[in-house]
Amino acid sequence: MRLSLLKGGEILNTPFMKPLTWYLIFVVFLISIVPKVEAGFAPSEFPLTNSDRLKDLDTIQKVLETKAIKQRLEDLGFTSEEINNRISQLDDQQIHWLAKQLDDLKVGGDGLGVIVALLVIVILVVLLLQLTGHRVIVTK
């Protein structure tokens, strides 16, 4: 069976059309299964300077001075001297990691995002009910 190609009203019968078609199908298949690769710059590790250490220690100290944290550590049996002694034993990388974790910590979480999400869900439900012909009646 030969494949035919319509060109300008005339039919061209070519013997290489079938192998060419299979070749193109195979190539498109190979191209489609190649995984998508994304590249990016990886930050290099820079040695921490003395000012970075002082800034990180200041961040840790501010968190430790909050009333709730101070009370919880006292309830666990830690004194201020013990806490300061343990922090002074940490190396620069550990202090930087701890300060970074404390910066990322949000006290109380993000309540506004939850409220907005709930409002969007309620609005979508009401809109869906209105579009399907149902009535939404809010009474006290």
Q: Please determine, for residue 49, whether its predicted confidence score (pLDDT) is greater than 80.
A: no
Residue 70, pLDDT above cutoff 80: yes
Instruction: Say yes or no to pLDDT of 9 above 50.
Output: no
Q: Model-level pTM?
A: 0.43
The separation between CA 52 and the C-alpha centre of its own chain, rounded to angstroms, equals 27
Q: Mean pLDDT over residues 14-37, rounded?
A: 81
pLDDT in tens, 83-96: 888 888 888 888 88
Domain residues of the chain, as ranges? 4-33, 50-104
Contact 103, 56 (CB under 8 A): no
Q: Summarize the confidence of residues 109-120 as an average pLDDT.
A: 78
107 falls in which pLDDT band (50, 70, 90)?
low
Q: What is the pLDDT of residues 119-137, one digit of tens each?
A: 888 888 888 888 888 776 7
User: What's the pLDDT score for residue 10?
Assistant: 44
